[in-house]
Structure 1
Amino acid sequence: MNSKIEIPLSKMKITLLLIGAIIFIVLGILFILNPQQFTTNLFRSPEIIRIVGIASVSFFGLCLIFIVKKLFDNKIGLTIDHNGITDNTNATSVGLIEWEDITGIEKVQVASTKILMLQTDKPDKYINRGKSWISKRAMQANNNLYGSPLSIVSNSLKMKFEDLEELIRAEFEKRKK
């Protein structure tokens, strides 16, 4: 019962995320500097293209900051033990999520990204533990959209999402009994 499961961060996956973020930042900069070059029948307005560029640079710029931090992070990505789940997988990670605070697990998919939402009856406890204003706002948005501020993704872990989901569900069921 006191076993500890540690899932490390995948430097390869994080590097691929880094490359993707850089590509979107570069495209965003091109959209900002030369929006008329990217007009199409669907997007005829250079102003709209410039706004998309600004949004791309802003969003993926923030992502880039987080990705670079994760690339040099030597902490374990996810730890599952008798206390709960210690999450270090994403920008909204809050550390230890205690088993007693988890009321359920839901899988959601946003575009191609699969996310495990850990349902809790104490969302404010975890939102208040957010590391920054941006992190707290993202957790609040998750809570409003999905009913929980607690999300776990496998994008930065050395484990496939399906295996991660199966593992967390099995450990949750053990703890419920």
Structure 2
Amino acid sequence: MTSVYPPTTLEYPLRKAKLALVLVLALVLFLVCLVMTLAGLAGPGSLLAWELGAAGLVGGVAFGAGTLFAAARLFSRSPGLVIDQEGIVDNTSYSSVGRVPWSQITWVQVQSFKLPTYNRSLIFRPQQPRLLVIGVRDPEQFRDRGNWLQRFLRRGTVGMFGGPVAISEPLLRADFEDLARRIRAGVPVS
């Protein structure tokens, strides 16, 4: 089912500066984990050395994957989010579901994280980043797409926020209230 809204395709780019910061942090943490792994392998066969090496290996795999994803998204020319007559296309994160037709979207909500993070000012003030969460008629259809890691991450998203599509505000160059209003306007009345 197509919608008559929007008449043109709307594209929202990712914030490349934030992606560059994520890339640098993931790379630094990957290197720290690599040093931990090498120290664990070179250590004297004790349980602590083995644990250090194992923790470094697990962290290295996770942060290495994060580094690769951040680099791929940083140099990609495709937008983070597209709204067109067929629905939306979410390409904002590794666990993104891709195309979501208008006929599947049931609700849109802007939610805040419960844990505070801090902004870049010299005085640390708690800041609660927001997510644009989109509910769908058949969450399993979207949750079960992709590889095992993407499915695992989406199960957590459904459990924590109620929908398989959760778009992080810091990564997308968009006003989230306006974005939620635009998506709500495109959802056909059932």
2:99 maps to 1:83: no
The residue aligned with 1:13 is: 18
2:137 maps to 1:126: no
Within 1, Cα distance between the matches of 2:28 and 2:51?
20
Q: Deviations over 1:15-74 (max 9, x none)?
A: 111101011112223333447xxxxxxxxx776655543342222111112112212221
TM-score w.r.t. the length of structure 2 is: 0.71
TM-score w.r.t. the length of structure 1 is: 0.75
Within 1, Cα distance between the matches of 2:61 and 2:131?
23
How far residue 117 of structure 1 moved from its aligned partner, in angstroms, is 2.0
The residue aligned with 2:186 is: 175
How far residue 154 of structure 1 moved from its aligned partner, in angstroms, is 3.6
Within 2, Cα distance between the matches of 1:90 and 1:67?
9
1:89 aligned counterpart, secondary structure: coil
Query: What residue identity is the alignment partner of 1:118?
Result: I
Query: What residue identity is the alignment partner of 1:169?
Result: A
Within 1, Cα distance between the matches of 2:101 and 2:179?
13
RMSD over aligned CA atoms reads 2.7
1:105 aligned counterpart, secondary structure: strand
The residue aligned with 1:103 is: 106
* Structure 1 residue corresponding to 2:29, chosen from 16, 24, 32: 24
Unpaired stretches in structure 2, ≥5 consecutive residues: 41-47, 118-128
Change (3 A) 1:71 1:120: same
Query: What residue identity is the alignment partner of 2:70?
Result: I
Give the ranges of 4+ consecutive aligned residues of structure 1 lying more than 4 Å apart after TM superposition: 45-52
2:113 aligned counterpart, secondary structure: strand
Q: RCO higher in 1 or 2 (8 Å CA, sep ≥ 6)?
A: 2
Contact 2:132-2:180 at 8 Å conserved across structures: no
The residue aligned with 1:67 is: 70
Query: What residue identity is the alignment partner of 1:78?
Result: L
The residue aligned with 1:116 is: 132
Change (3 A) 1:79 1:61: same
How far residue 100 of structure 1 moved from its aligned partner, in angstroms, is 2.5
Query: What residue identity is the alignment partner of 1:26?
Result: L
Give the paired residue count: 163
Unpaired stretches in structure 1, ≥5 consecutive residues: 36-44
Query: What residue identity is the alignment partner of 1:151?
Result: A
Question: Structure 1 residues 117-126 or 53-62, which shifts more?
Answer: 53-62
Query: What residue identity is the alignment partner of 1:115?
Result: L
2:105 maps to 1:94: no
